[in-house]
Amino acid sequence: MENLLEFKNVNYFYQTKNDEIFALDNINFDVKEEEFVSLVGPSGCGKTTILSLAAGLLKPSSGEVILDGEKKIDTKKIGYMFQRDMLFDWRTVWKNVTLGLELQKPKDLDRKLAFAEELLKKYNLDGFKNRKPRSLSGGMRQRVALIRTLVLEPKLLLLDEPFSALDYQTRLTLCDDVAEILKNEKKTALLVTHDISEAISLSDKIIVLSSRPAKVKDEIHLNLNGETPLKKREDSSFGSYFDLIWRELTNEEQKNNSD
């Protein structure tokens, strides 16, 4: 499989009035097509910065971010999903789902509208098409947010802790839903999370980051048996992966505290 996203020797500094914050230190990794990659690391280490760079919302201070073979990132190839669903309360579910189409006015609008319709139907939301988001549950709202992203047919999905605002049970169910949707639609995804088990159950590859300035500490390729993330949690090697990542992260925490 081809590399869809590549980070090559990426450094990033945040500028503030009194300071220059060194956020990313020589980051190298790649995401292959149809691969699910997770970034884990101590909080505040710069995971979201990496996503913003991949989305083209920020430019690297040095180094290269290459998306689909191009150095200039085409935002239209990216779908961004946030921790909060960011649904617009004043729009119906349908109007929320088609928001991106309204903004981008693509040439094949009719086909994409039909696709949106199909996605809503497929993931049991078409009954709520004309409802306002406030009448939906948290899990449903995140599914609407995911469909809003998928409608634009992005090549790469950036997921910034999309499950962390939900209660535990909804979270596990939605995790399965999202994994299924991404598999069906053959999507590539880069997930940021602080939940180790979530990362293990969803990913093909996990990138462990150090505390700030973030360096790539380890790259773990996973091979778990199980159809869904929930099933993967039952795999015998799940625990050992968990221990491995847990140890790497706690080492970071200790190093942090002794600084």
Partner 1 sequence: MKNKKITATSFSKSHQLYVSKLKKDKFIVIFFRIFILVAFIGLWELLTYLKVLDPFFFSSPSRIVATLGDLISAGTLFHHAWVTLYETLIGFAIATVLGYLIAVALWWNEKVRKIFEPYIIVLNSLPKIALGPVIILWVGAGTSAIVLMCVLICIVITTMSMLSAFIACDEGKILLLKSMHANKFQILWKCVLPNSMPDFISVLKINVGMAWVGSIMGEYLTSKAGLGYLIVYGGQIFKIDLVMTATFVLCILAFLMYFLVSLLERRYKK
Chain contacts with partner 1 (rule: CB under 8 A): 55, 57, 75-76, 78-80, 82, 84, 86, 88, 90, 99-100, 102-104, 137, 140, 152
Q: How far is the CB of 18 from partner 1 (least distance, A)?
A: 20
Written in H, E and C, the secondary structure of 145-167 is HHHHHHCCCCCEEEEECCCCCCC
Q: How far is the CB of 97 from partner 1 (least distance, A)?
A: 12
For 74, 98, 163, the CA distances from 133, given in Å and listed in that order, are: 30, 14, 17
Cβ-based nearer residue to partner 1, 22 or 82: 82
DSSP structure class, residue 90:
T
Integer Cα distance of 60 and 67 in angstroms: 13
Say what angle helices 168-184 and 138-150 make with each other, to 10 degrees. 20
The number of CA neighbours under 13 Å toward the Cβ of 203 is 28
- Tokens 């048996």 correspond to what residue? 225
Nearest residue to 220 (alpha-carbon basis) of 191, 237, 244: 244
Q: Alpha-carbon Rg of the chain, whole angstroms?
A: 19
Cβ-based nearer residue to partner 1, 8 or 131: 131
Cβ-based nearer residue to partner 1, 54 or 199: 54
Q: How far is the CB of 57 from partner 1 (least distance, A)?
A: 6
Integer Cα distance of 46 and 23 in angstroms: 6
| Cβ-based neighbours of 8, under 8 Å, separated by 6 or more | 28, 63, 64, 65, 66
Q: How far is the CB of 87 from partner 1 (least distance, A)?
A: 9
Cβ-based nearer residue to partner 1, 32 or 131: 131
Cβ-based nearer residue to partner 1, 1 or 168: 168
Q: How far is the CB of 118 from partner 1 (least distance, A)?
A: 20
Structure token pair of residue 155: 């090549």
Q: How far is the CB of 45 from partner 1 (least distance, A)?
A: 20
Cβ-based nearer residue to partner 1, 151 or 206: 151
Cβ-based nearer residue to partner 1, 55 or 181: 55
Q: How far is the CB of 137 from partner 1 (least distance, A)?
A: 6
